[in-house]
Every structure is written in C-alpha cells, then in structure tokens.
Structure 1
Amino acid sequence: MKELRRLAEGGSSDAVDELVQRAAEREDLSELRRLADRGSATASDQLIETATELDDLEELRRLAVGGNLTAAAEQLAELGAE
C-alpha cells in the first residue's frame, strides 16, 4: 500500500485506480475520502457508492456540501425515501 500511495501521489492513475479498488473492497471510507479529496473522480464516485451501500448519511451530506452535490444529493434523496 505504501508504494501504491507513493505512486498515486506522483500522478500514477493506475496506482490511484488500484487504491480505489482496494479501498472499495475493504469499505474503507477514509481512504476513499483521502483519494477523492486529492481530486480523483473515480474515488469520489466510489465513495458515494460505498457510503450509499453503508447508509452513511453523514458522509453523503459531507460530499453534497463539498461539491459532489448532484450525485450525493440524489443518493440522500433515495435513502430518505426508503
């Protein structure tokens, strides 16, 4: 993981994708959040998906306020309707 993070920080999109995949498999919201906050659209999408699967309304609200308004707001609306 340490080497993947180093490569990702150096701009390797393959390393970022691998980190996103591993974090998603572990349902690691903090890792997905870190990658998303660094600008990875893939991580942002996966974070929304994983937070939705875990019914993590707090994370979805944070994402909606932080700029992922449309996707996170849609998921919040769906969870609220259930």
Structure 2
Amino acid sequence: MNREPASMGRFGATHSLILLICVLSLGSGLFLAGTPMDDVFALLGGLGAIGAATLTAAGGGRRLAAVFVEAAVRSGVGK
C-alpha cells in the first residue's frame, strides 16, 4: 500500500468544520460592522478561491482536477 506519512495529513472533516466556523464568523462580523452584503460575499468568495487554489497547489492538483472533471461529466449526463 502507498500510505502517506502522518506529518502529511489530509484535509478532513475537522478541517472543513474549522473553515466553516471561520467563514461564518468572518461573514457575521463583517455584516455586524456594517459592510454591504455584496462586499461580504465578494470577500468570502475571494477567500474561498484562494483556499481552493492553495489546496490544489499543495496536493498536486491531479486528484482534485479529476474529481471536478468527473463531477462535470456526471452532471452533463444527468446522473
């Protein structure tokens, strides 16, 4: 088997939960500070794009690209 070392941890459920809490907290804080909703969504969308690009670059991107292509093909077929 080809196993990764423990130091090369994977992006798991705990990481997803932490990011979800951070995004919700940041969005709520910006809204309470009086930031217009369009700006809040633009900022959070930009942060999401940066995070996705970072994960793609760190993981080599091949597996993530394969998942996106598979999802696009399945949605096109209607499965």
Q: Which has the higher contact order (CA 8 A, sep 6+)?
A: 1
Considering fraction of residues, name the structure with more helix.
Answer: 1
Fold similarity call, TM over 0.5 = no
TM (normalized to structure 2)?
Answer: 0.28
Structure showing greater radius of gyration is: 2
TM (normalized to structure 1)?
Answer: 0.27
